[in-house]
Every structure is written in structure tokens, then in C-alpha cells.
Amino acid sequence: MGSGKVRFNDPQIEMAHGAGGKASRRLIEGLLVPILFDGCSEPLGDAAHLQLDGIQLAITTDSFVVKPLSFPGGSIGELAVNGTVNDLAVSGARAEALAVTYVLEAGLPTAVLEAEAQAMARAAKRAGVGIVAGDTKVVEHGKADQMYVTTCGIGRLIAGVAVAPRSVRPGDKIILSGPIGEHGITILLARGELDLEAELWSDTRSVLPLVEALAQAAGPGIRWMRDPTRGGVATSLNELARDCGLGVHLDEESIPVRDTVRGACELLGLDPLHIANEGQFLAVVAPEFAEAGLEALRRTPGGHEARTLGEMREQPAATVIVNTRYGGSRVVDMLVGDPLPRIC
């Protein structure tokens, strides 16, 4: 179980270290965690849970670096709010308050900043969370891609939910809230380099209502949750597999993917499992609670496309496998860096 001793030997930081895949994990677990997280031996979750004077709190932080700033379905502001609310939600907590930092590039049009601030205010209201503190810095032109946004959120634990990879058992079901790949492909297309057009938009939203619905119907059975952002479902499930040492088995036909996302992925040689999502979450639920949990999600607004993807098994250990209906299978690994279009 667990990953064993991870070492970070790279002489300098490369782009791959920020992509959420293998290189990122090496940086975080090999360099930063040992230094910063004193005596930490737990697998890393989406948020940290603390006890302060008997009150259980969750705290998390995330930074948002996206190009273009604005895209179909949202902008960096919404990502910043929803992203942190979602990290808290999948750790089993309800976001109560956010603090925001802006690092702004000199030369950024005020209208752009204003639009992002408005977007954040709207997203916070929709998510039922208050923005209570903030900071702003301005750096020279060229030192920040227009703007970087960081949010830090605190929240209260949702009663009856305790997620931990070590509680996952063979036979547990894997549930996904909705179709994958919409955010990552939207961003890829919005960059304009590939000259592709499609009716597609980011799925950015707060998943808290869905998590709460799942908690109500299946609380005691929820073993693990994660929001599959950068690196996609493949990365999140590989992290799970590695943290609990079991095999993750997915049925290829159960994986929900919109036609346009599928078309773009086929065209560019990408796997939807590796593409970022900003409005979905994965849950591993004990089999006796899984059906009720799935039903509850489907009845909740925004959850009608929730599916059971598969289940946990003993073998192969620490590995994610996709099984086809005709008896074929393939291992799905974490990528090293961001998925790149290919022509070969």
C-alpha cells in the first residue's frame, strides 16, 4: 500500500511538474510534503481536516492559471470559486468562506479584472459561499499571464461522511457524476491553435449539492471522493489505486462522454479519461449503498447523467483497468504532463 519513498531529483522545475500527473506527484510528495507537512504520513487529500476547539473544519487552497482567461461556459473567476468549493466538497465538507488573491499583470485591462471579479461574485453566490478576505498584487508586464487567481476555502464537515482511501474495499462501486472531458477540450479549442470549432462549453460548477445528495442517501457508505480536474479521471483513479493498493475496474461502455468531446478526442488522438473536468466528481461507495447513492444523484438537478463506472477489485494491485464488453482490457495510467494532440 502507498507509494513507498518518493524522491524528487529534477534540477529545475519544468512545466510537467504543474500538470497534475506523475511529475506533479513527484514534486509534491518528493520535495514539498516532507519539508512542509511535518510528520505527515497520510495520503494527500483534496483538503485538510482540522480540529479547532472541538469544531471540525476543512481547509484547502488552489491557484488558477488558465489561458484563455475566458472561454465558453465560464472564466478563471468561476473556476477559482468552484474549484475550491469542490475540493472541500469531495473531502466531505461544506464551503463556508473563501479568501481570494489576485496576482495581476501590469497592462491588464481593468474591464477584464472587473469581469472576473463579477464572475467570482456570481459563482460564490450560486455556490452559497461568501468571499470574506482577499489580497492583490501587481507584477511587471510579462510576469503573469494577465492574471493568476488563488482561492483558499474553509468549511464545516458534512455529518456522517468520512472519506479515506484505506477504507476502500474490493466490491466497492465507482460512481461518476456526469460526462467527462468537457472543460479540457473547451479550453483546448478556445486557444485557437488547432482551428477546431464545436458546440462545447466548460462544465465548471459547484458539485456541493450533488455531494450533499449523495451524503444524505449513502453517507455511511462513501469511502472516497475526488474531483477529477487536471489529469482527468485517469489521474484521480490512479491516485486512489495507489493509495489503497487495489485494482480499479472500469467498464468502457459506462464511461459517459458527449459526442463532441468524443469527436475532438478521436480527431486529436486524446483519451477522454485524461482530460480535465471542472464540474464533476468521483465517489467510491460501498455496494450496499451504491444504488441508493446513484439514484439520489440522478434525482438531483445536474446529476441526471451520473453513472456507475465500475468497481474495485483485489487485482491488479494499484492499477486502473478499462474493460471492454468483448473481453479486451487496457491499463489506464497517469500521464506525465498535459495530454498533447497527436497525428501518429
Partner 1 sequence: MCLAIPGKIIELFPESHRTALVDVSGVRRRVDLGLLEEDKPVAGDWVLIHVGFALSKISEEDALDQMRILRLLGEDKAAMEEVKGYGLGEEPEGGKQKSETGRKRTT
Partner 2 sequence: MRFVDEFRDPEVIGRTAEEIRRLADPGRHYRIMEVCGGHTHAIYRFGLKDVLPPNLELVHGPGCPVCVLPMGRIDDGLSMAENPEVIFAAFGDMMRVPGTKGSPLEYKARGMDVRIVYSPADALKLAENNPDRQVMFFAIGFETTAPSTALTLMRAKALGLRNFSVFCNHVTIIPAIRAILDSPDTRIDAFIGPGHVSTIIGCRPYEWIAKDEGKPIVISGFEPLDLLQSIVMLLHQLKQGEAKVENQYKRVVPWEGNRSALGAMAEVFALRPYFEWRGLGFISQSALRLRETFAQWDAEQRFSVPGVRVTDPKAAQCGEVLKGVLKPAQCKLFGGECTPEHPVGALMVSSEGSCAAHYNYEHRKNGVASGLG
CB burial readout 118-132, b (16+ within 10 A) else e: ebbeebbeebebebe
Q: Does 35 bind partner 2 (CB under 8 A)?
A: no
CB 77 within 8 Å of CB 134: no
Question: Mapping DSSP to helix (H, G, I), strand (E, B) and coil, where does residue 53 land?
Answer: coil
Q: Does 226 bind partner 2 (CB under 8 A)?
A: no
DSSP annotation of 106 reads T
The length of the chain in residues reads 344
Closer by beta carbon to partner 1, 72 or else 170: 72
Closer by beta carbon to partner 2, 53 or else 342: 342
Q: Does 341 bind partner 2 (CB under 8 A)?
A: yes
- Contact map string, positions 90 to 129, toward partner 2, x by CB under 8 A: ----------------------------------------
CB 145 within 8 Å of CB 239: no
Cα–Cα dist 226/110, whole Å: 35
Q: Does 267 bind partner 1 (CB under 8 A)?
A: yes
The torsion angles phi and psi of 135, rounded to 5 degrees, stand at: -150, 150
CB 71 within 8 Å of CB 187: yes
Q: Does 327 bind partner 1 (CB under 8 A)?
A: no
Q: Count other Cβ atoms within 10 Å, centred on residue 252.
A: 16
Q: Does 97 bind partner 1 (CB under 8 A)?
A: no
142 binds, among partner 2, partner 1, none (CB under 5 to 8 A by kind): none
Which residues contribute to the site for partner 1 (CB under 8 A)?
Answer: 194-200, 259-260, 262-264, 266-267, 269, 342-344
Which residues contribute to the site for partner 2 (CB under 8 A)?
Answer: 3-4, 6, 14-16, 22-23, 25-26, 29, 193-196, 242, 245, 247, 253, 259, 262-263, 266, 268-269, 315-319, 321-331, 333, 336-337, 340-344
